[in-house]
Amino acid sequence: MTAFDAAQLDDIYAFAVQLGKDAGRMLLEAAEARYDGLNGANGDDAHVEKMNSVDLVTQTDEDVEAFIKNQISHRYPSHKFIGEETYSKGASKDYLIDDEPTWCVDPLDGTVNYIHLFPMFCVSIGFIVNSKPTIGVIYAPFLNQLFSSCTGKGAWLNERQPLPLMRNPIPPMPPNAPKGCVFACEWGKDRRDRPDSNLHRKVESFVNMAAEIGGREGKGGMVHGVRSLGSATLDLAYVAMGSVDIWWEGGCWEWDVAAGIAILQEAGGLVTTANPPPDLETVKIEEVRLGSRLYLAIRPAGPSEGESARQGQERTVREVWRRVRHLDYARPGA
C-alpha cells in the first residue's frame, strides 16, 4: 500500500490539472492546424499535407501521449504509467493496474469526433492509488470544459463550479426512474449484424430504455432523452455534472474511464457494472472493477422523503438492469 499525505496529493493534483490543460491545448492546436494551416503558407507542414486525417490524428494521439508520459516520468519517476497508445501497441491486453501509484491516460478520447472536428473530444488523465481512481482530469479544449477532482477535494468544472451543477439541493433520482432521466449510450465500434451481436444487444437495450411505459413487454422506460456523444470520458464527466442521469456502456478500457470515475465518484455518483447479475433485485451493488470494460454510471443524487441518495441510485441501477441485455466484452487476455 502506498500512502500520500495531503501536501503530496495537492502537488500531484495541481500537476495533473496543468498537464491536462497543456495536453488539451496540444489537441486543439493540432486540430486547428488541420483546418487552418495545412495548405497555408507554412512550408514546414509540407510532409503533413501528404497524410490523411486518420494518420494525422494517430500522430497527434501518439505525440500527446509521449508528452504526458515524459512530463510524468520527469516529475514522478517512481510512478507507473499506462496509456492508451503504448498499451495498444503491446502484445498483451492484461489488466496492469495494481497497488502502485499509477497514471492511467487517454491522450485523446473521442477519436472519431476528433477526426471529424466534432467538438466532443478530450484528454483524460487519471491517477490511481491502491487501485482506486484518486485524481481525475478531463479537458475538452474545443468546448473549453475542464473537469477535475481529487479525493476529498470535490469535483469541479473549470476549477470554480462545483459538481454536480444542480446542488441547492441536489435533486433526488426521479421516483419512476428511468422515466424522467437523460440516458447516455454509445453505438461503439462493434457493428456485427448477427442476431446476438453486441450491436443488437445494445440497440434492444436502448429501445427498452426509450419506449413508452407499458411497452416492450413492461420494459419500456420512457427516458426523458437518449444522448450519444461519442466519448466515454465525456459521458462520465456529464454524469458528474448531473446533466446525464444514467450512462450505460460496454467495451471501454481503463484509460477511457479512470479519470471520469474519479470525478464522478468524488461528485457523489455511483459506478457499477453494466451487465445485470442474475439476482438483480437483491444483489449488493458493488463498485465497478476498473478493468471490467462494463460500466453503469448514475449521477450524484440527493435524498428524497423516505429514501437516501444511495437508495435512489441503487433503485435506478436495478431499474436499468431490468431493461438491458448482457454485453460481451471480455478482456482478450482474460
C-alpha R_g of the chain: 20
- Residue 88 or 144 with smaller CB distance to its own copies: 144
Nearest distance from residue 175's CB to its own copies, in Å? 13
First CA to last CA across the chain, in angstroms? 25
Q: Which residues contact 331 (CB under 8 A, 6 or more apart)?
A: 93, 94, 95, 291, 293
Site size with its own copies, rule: CB under 8 A: 55
Instruction: Find the helix packing angle between 53-75 and 6-32, rounded to 10°.
Output: 160
Nearest distance from residue 176's CB to its own copies, in Å? 14
Q: Is 116 in the site for its own copies (CB under 8 A)?
A: yes
Q: Is 165 in the site for its own copies (CB under 8 A)?
A: yes
Nearest distance from residue 279's CB to its own copies, in Å? 28
Nearest distance from residue 119's CB to its own copies, in Å? 7
Q: How far apart are CA 270 and CA 124, in angstroms?
A: 19
Draw the binding track, 43-82, toward its own copies (x: CB under 8 A; -: no contact): ----------x-----------------------------
Output the nine-digit C-alpha cell for 310: 444511495
Output the nine-digit C-alpha cell for 27: 489537441
Nearest distance from residue 116's CB to its own copies, in Å? 5
Q: Is 179 in the site for its own copies (CB under 8 A)?
A: no
Are 240 and 283 spatial neighbours (Cβ–Cβ below 8 Å)? no
Q: Is 166 in the site for its own copies (CB under 8 A)?
A: yes
**Site stretch for its own copies (CB under 8 A), options 92-100, 200-208, 260-268, 276-284:** 200-208
Whether the upstream peptide bond of residue 164 has omega within 30° of 0, thus cis, is: yes
Nearest distance from residue 187's CB to its own copies, in Å? 4
- Residue 90 or 162 with smaller CB distance to its own copies: 162
Q: Is 28 in the site for its own copies (CB under 8 A)?
A: no
Q: How far apart are CA 197 and CA 199, in angstroms?
A: 5
Q: Is 203 in the site for its own copies (CB under 8 A)?
A: yes
Q: Is 227 in the site for its own copies (CB under 8 A)?
A: yes
- CA separation, residue 47 to residues 26, 32, 35, 61, 64 (Å): 19, 17, 15, 18, 19
Q: Is 24 in the site for its own copies (CB under 8 A)?
A: no
- Residue 89 or 191 with smaller CB distance to its own copies: 191
Q: Is 169 in the site for its own copies (CB under 8 A)?
A: yes
Q: How far apart are CA 156 and CA 89, in angstroms?
A: 33
For the sheet with 182-184, list strands across it: 182-184, 246-250, 294-298, 270-272
Q: Which residues contact 302 (CB under 8 A, 6 or more apart)?
A: 169, 170, 171, 172, 309
The footprint of its own copies (CB under 8 A) covers 34-40, 53, 112-113, 115-119, 143-145, 165-169, 171, 182, 187, 191-193, 199-200, 203, 206-207, 210-212, 214-216, 220, 222, 224-230, 238, 241-245
